[in-house]
Structure 1
Amino acid sequence: MKCPVCGLAEMALDTRDAAHVYKGRTVVIPAVTGDHCPACDECLTEHRETDKIIQAVNELSKQVDAPA
């Protein structure tokens, strides 16, 4: 399947670390299994992996947005 975001490459099932940036801070989510695009780094995941990513991103946003 071609990447639905960039359309440049075929998606490949793989397990990789995924990074997410929020307000200049980065969280790395280890071992995300899904269909990864080698051209734009988009990743399509199943529910369990998506939940893992959402949990990590929510934790990062709480840390970044916490009152100083």
Structure 2
Amino acid sequence: MVKNCPTCGEGELASDTRPITFARQGETMLLEEVHGDFCPCCGEVILGMLEAERVSRRILGFNALKPTSGAKARSPEEFQRHS
């Protein structure tokens, strides 16, 4: 069954495991191995409930960290204690 993107209506969603990047206040976090349905047209990512909860915990941990001066990428290990 082909699923069209609910955001743009143009893209055909592809189930895959990919890294995604989350940005906040000039800092970025790379989340590797995110399982979901990805739209090739608009970049929307549709996650299942368990994956959404996992990703949300990681993002909340990242947001709980005090920002550092200057933009830099943080590894998941730096914020894992918050998730």
TM bucket (normalised to shorter chain) is 0.7 to 0.9
Q: Give unmatched runs, 5+ long, in structure 2.
A: 68-83
Residue 8 (structure 1) shift: 2.1
Select which of 20, 23, 26 maps to 1:21: 23
Question: What is the number of equivalent residue pairs in this alignment?
Answer: 66
Q: Which runs of 5+ in 1 are unaligned?
A: none
Q: Which amino acid aligns with 1:57?
A: I
| Percent sequence identity over aligned pairs | 29
TM-score, structure 1 normalization: 0.82
More strand by percentage? 1
Computed over aligned residues only, the root mean square deviation of the Cα atoms, in angstroms, reads 1.7
Q: TM-score, normalised by structure 2?
A: 0.69
| Larger Rg belongs to | 2
Q: Which stretches of structure 1, 4 residues or longer, exceed 3 Å deviation after superposition?
A: none
